[in-house]
């Protein structure tokens, strides 16, 4: 296939002609004393006085600060109410229901498929190899004229490994739809982020999140990094005030504590290595897959029985036994040192039973 990328050919016709909602906050930007344009409550809430105004629809202050950390312009960024919203926006912008399709590479994150199904968009599955890497031949075979998006997750959930960079680049160079690289776990990996490659690949979309390394899953803040052309069209269809004021304020604060976040990432990686070592000593553990993330996938004898036992001990892990290529495997999130110790202790007690 010869690369002939043209964003205009990918955007759905109804989105191309859409006249976006123009909110009060986006029609007037400037300095004024009295705002009577948005039907807000000028008295303010009795609970807290300053949440009575609608937030910045395009979150410029926050994006600029994220941009200075990630070395990318605010114009190349779209923020979503979690990566969830980012995935949904991508599918709704580019995929005509029933006609266009997306490609995913299982075992992988479940939300790509769920949002495709919600939007009535067919999903083509191209499983990873047994080494949990991309099957390039099968990918090439699966792509058809209606394939708009290919989702890669690297480091991948639930397997934990990073996908080979060269394989992703191969697809970027040969596929004329969009390649979405979900980097939710990139901070735990030694791999270089694809954010630095956005200028090189007009068809690249990178996703990251505040839910993992930043420790702010409850805020629901996901990020898309892409060309300004892609960001502009996504901005047309996003809900006007999709990132609430409290989230914008707290994320700005978190960005002032970069060193603490980096220390926490280092500690998580250190704990991951300790956990891997401790799990190696558990007799019924068969295999611990190498992880570039804040979790490990562990294959063991009778994983479902172990899962049930752990649950009875008040320890909840993720049973992935029913997932393709993850037979008899549990996905275990790296916890605090105390939590990890309790987990290993419980597993050793199970061994003695």
Q: Which of 147, 157, 159, 189 binds ligand PLP (CB under 6 A)?
A: 157
Among candidate residues 120, 127, 171, 118, the one with its CA nearest the CA of residue 149: 171
User: β-strand 295-300 against 329-333: which pairing, if any?
Assistant: antiparallel
CB 35 to ligand PLP: min, Å:
32
CB 106 to ligand PLP: min, Å:
12
Rank residues 148 and 220 by Cβ distance to ligand PLP and give the closer one. 220
The whole-angstrom separation of Cα 86 and Cα 92 is 10
DSSP 283: T
Rank residues 268 and 347 by Cβ distance to ligand PLP and give the closer one. 268
Q: Within 10 A of 144 (CB to CB), how many other CB atoms are there?
A: 10
- Is residue 184 at the binding interface for ligand PLP, with CB under 6 A as the rule? yes
- Is residue 217 at the binding interface for ligand PLP, with CB under 6 A as the rule? yes
CB 114 to ligand PLP: min, Å:
12
- Is residue 55 at the binding interface for ligand PLP, with CB under 6 A as the rule? no
Residue 263 class from Cβ within 10 Å (0-12 exposed, 13-18 middle, 19+ buried)? exposed
- Is residue 107 at the binding interface for ligand PLP, with CB under 6 A as the rule? no
Q: Nearest 5°: phi and psi at 18?
A: -60, 135
Q: What separation in angstroms does the CA of 65 have from each of 49, 61, 199, 252?
A: 25, 6, 20, 7
Q: Which of 147, 162, 211, 333 binds ligand PLP (CB under 6 A)?
A: 211
What does the per-residue mask of binding to ligand PLP show for 58-87, with x meaning CB under 6 A?
A: ------------------------xxx---
| Segment near ligand PLP (CB under 6 A); pick from 62-70, 130-138, 205-213, 249-257 | 205-213
- Is residue 182 at the binding interface for ligand PLP, with CB under 6 A as the rule? yes
| Segment near ligand PLP (CB under 6 A); pick from 141-149, 197-205, 210-218, 344-352 | 210-218
Rank residues 126 and 347 by Cβ distance to ligand PLP and give the closer one. 126
The whole-angstrom separation of Cα 94 and Cα 11 is 5
- Tokens representing residue 11 in the block: 């955007």
- Position with the least CB separation from ligand PLP: 82
Give the DSSP per-residue string, 12-76.
Answer: -HHHHS------HHHH--S--S---SS---TT--SS-GGGSSPPPTT-HHHHHHHHHHHT--GGG
- Is residue 126 at the binding interface for ligand PLP, with CB under 6 A as the rule? no
Residue 207 class from Cβ within 10 Å (0-12 exposed, 13-18 middle, 19+ buried)? buried
Query: By the criterion CB under 6 A, which residues form the site for ligand PLP?
Result: 82-84, 109, 153, 157, 182, 184, 209, 211-212, 217, 222
């Amino acid at each position: 296939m010869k690369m002939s990328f043209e964003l205009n050919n990918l955007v759905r016709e109804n989105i191309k002609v859409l006249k976006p909602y123009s909110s009060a906050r986006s029609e007037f930007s400037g300095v004024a004393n009295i705002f009577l344009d948005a039907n807000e409550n000028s008295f303010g809430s009795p609970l807290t006085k300053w949440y009575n105004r609608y937030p910045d629809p395009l979150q410029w202050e926050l994006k600029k600060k994220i941009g200075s950390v990630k070395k990318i312009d605010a114009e190349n960024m779209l923020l979503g109410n979690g990566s969830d919203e980012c995935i949904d926006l991508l599918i709704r912008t580019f995929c005509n229901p029933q006609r266009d399709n997306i490609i995913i590479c299982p075992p992988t994150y479940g939300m790509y498929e769920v949002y495709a199904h919600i939007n009535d968009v067919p999903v083509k599955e191209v499983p990873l190899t047994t080494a949990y890497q991309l099957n390039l031949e099968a990918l090439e075979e699966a792509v058809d004229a209606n394939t708009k998006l290919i989702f890669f997750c690297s480091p991948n959930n639930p397997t934990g490994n990073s996908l080979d960079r060269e394989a992703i680049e191969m697809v970027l160079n040969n596929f004329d739809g969009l390649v979405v690289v979900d980097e939710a776990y990139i901070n735990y990996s030694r791999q270089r982020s694809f954010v630095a490659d956005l200028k090189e690949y007009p068809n690249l979309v990178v996703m990251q999140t505040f839910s993992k390394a930043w420790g702010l899953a409850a805020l629901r803040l996901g990020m898309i990094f892409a060309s300004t052309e892609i960001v502009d069209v996504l901005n047309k269809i996003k809900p006007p005030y999709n990132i609430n004021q409290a989230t914008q304020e707290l994320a700005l604060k978190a960005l002032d504590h970069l060193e603490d976040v980096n220390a926490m990432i280092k500690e998580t990686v250190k704990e991951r290595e300790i956990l891997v070592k401790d799990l190696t000593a558990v007799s019924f553990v068969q295999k611990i897959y190498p992880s570039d993330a804040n979790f490990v996938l562990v294959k063991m004898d009778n994983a479902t029985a172990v899962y049930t036992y752990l649950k009875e001990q008040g320890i909840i892990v993720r049973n992935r036994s029913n997932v393709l290529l993850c037979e008899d495997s549990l996905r275990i999130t790296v916890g605090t040192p105390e939590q990890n110790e309790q987990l290993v202790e419980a597993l050793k007690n199970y061994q003695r039973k």
